[in-house]
């Protein structure tokens, strides 16, 4: 076989081999990703999309060089601690339109340095501790959730940086004061300090408890004094009813017992 043909055959063989390896690699990667999830590149950023993929938890096999992660329109019910700890380069995280009702403290740990956008809108959030967003500098969207308007939500709103225009979507679904229901929380906050109201309520409860204990102690002391007085009166009447010699003996015995 001429040398030229050998070179051409070798070149074709190598090309087919490389294509086969690439195909196998792609099939392997596709197999490790959850159904409905796929990587891509958008505007020079590595993106991983799992939108509307029927997920019930945060996937574990997300490439750790991902910059934009879309987990929107799924059925994820909660975010556990360290859910995104292996994604140090994440810039945007979309968790909107899920069933998230609970966010554990430390769920976003490891994202503080780079994350600049976090979407938690249209979930089932009622109450979250501000500690769940500790050190997070991202713009956060918390709109369209069934919020309980109380001191906890007030502390959360003051701790996070809300997406511009999203505050009007943070509406009181429930509240200790019925007139707040259906109103935007920031509007209610302008007139009500929930944490101050909570502190006053707690102080009143403590005062009532202390007064109750004080009343019980006083009642016991009064009962104890009256009981002793009654016992002393009965003993005195008993002594008076005794003959004089026996009475003196009883009195001496009583004095000796007292001494």
The predicted-structure confidence for 38-81, as pLDDT tens digits, reads as follows 999 999 999 999 999 999 999 988 999 999 999 999 999 999 99
pLDDT digits over 133-182, tens only?
Answer: 988 999 999 999 999 999 999 999 999 999 999 999 999 999 988 999 99
- Look over the chain and give the mean of its residue pLDDT values, rounded to a whole number: 80
Which stretches does DSSP call E strand in the chain?
Answer: 38-42, 45-49, 68-70, 78-79, 92-94, 102-103, 117-119, 139-141, 147-149, 161-162, 172-175
d(CA 80, CA 254): 74
Among 1-15, 161-175, 194-208, the range with the most confident prediction by mean pLDDT is 161-175
Q: What is the pTM of this model?
A: 0.66
Q: What pLDDT shows up at residue 5?
A: 54
pLDDT band at 196 (very low <50, low <70, confident <90, very high): confident
pLDDT, tens digit (0-9, with 9 covering 90-100), for 226-249: 666 666 666 666 556 656 555 455
Residue 33: per-residue pLDDT: 83
What's the pLDDT score for residue 112? 86
pLDDT tier, 28 (very low <50, low <70, confident <90, very high otherwise): very low
């Amino acid at each position: 076989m001429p040398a030229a043909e050998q070179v051409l055959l070798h070149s074709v063989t190598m090309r087919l081999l490389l294509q086969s390896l690439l195909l196998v690699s792609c099939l392997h990667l596709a197999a490790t990703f959850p159904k409905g999830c796929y990587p891509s590149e958008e505007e020079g950023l590595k993106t991983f999309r799992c939108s509307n993929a029927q997920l019930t938890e945060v996937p574990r096999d997300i490439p750790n060089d991902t910059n934009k992660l879309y987990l929107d329109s799924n059925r994820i019910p909660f975010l556990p601690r360290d859910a995104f700890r292996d994604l140090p380069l994440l810039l945007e995280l979309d968790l909107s339109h899920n069933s998230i009702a609970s966010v554990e403290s430390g769920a976003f740990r490891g994202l503080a340095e780079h994350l600049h956008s976090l979407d938690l809108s249209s979930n089932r959030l009622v109450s979250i501790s501000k500690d769940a967003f500790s050190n997070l500098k991202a713009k956060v969207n918390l709109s369209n959730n069934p919020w309980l308007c109380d001191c906890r939500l007030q502390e959360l709103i003051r701790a996070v940086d809300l997406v511009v225009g999203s505050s009007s979507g943070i509406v009181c679904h429930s509240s200790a004061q019925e007139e707040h229901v259906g109103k935007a929380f920031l509007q209610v906050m302008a007139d009500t300090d929930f944490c101050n109201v909570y502190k006053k309520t707690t102080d009143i409860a403590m005062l009532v408890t202390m007064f109750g204990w004080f009343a019980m102690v006083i009642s016991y002391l009064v009962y104890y004094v009256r009981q002793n007085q009654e016992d002393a009166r009965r003993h005195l009447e008993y002594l008076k009813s005794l003959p004089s010699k026996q009475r003196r003996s009883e009195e001496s015995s009583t004095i000796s017992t007292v001494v």
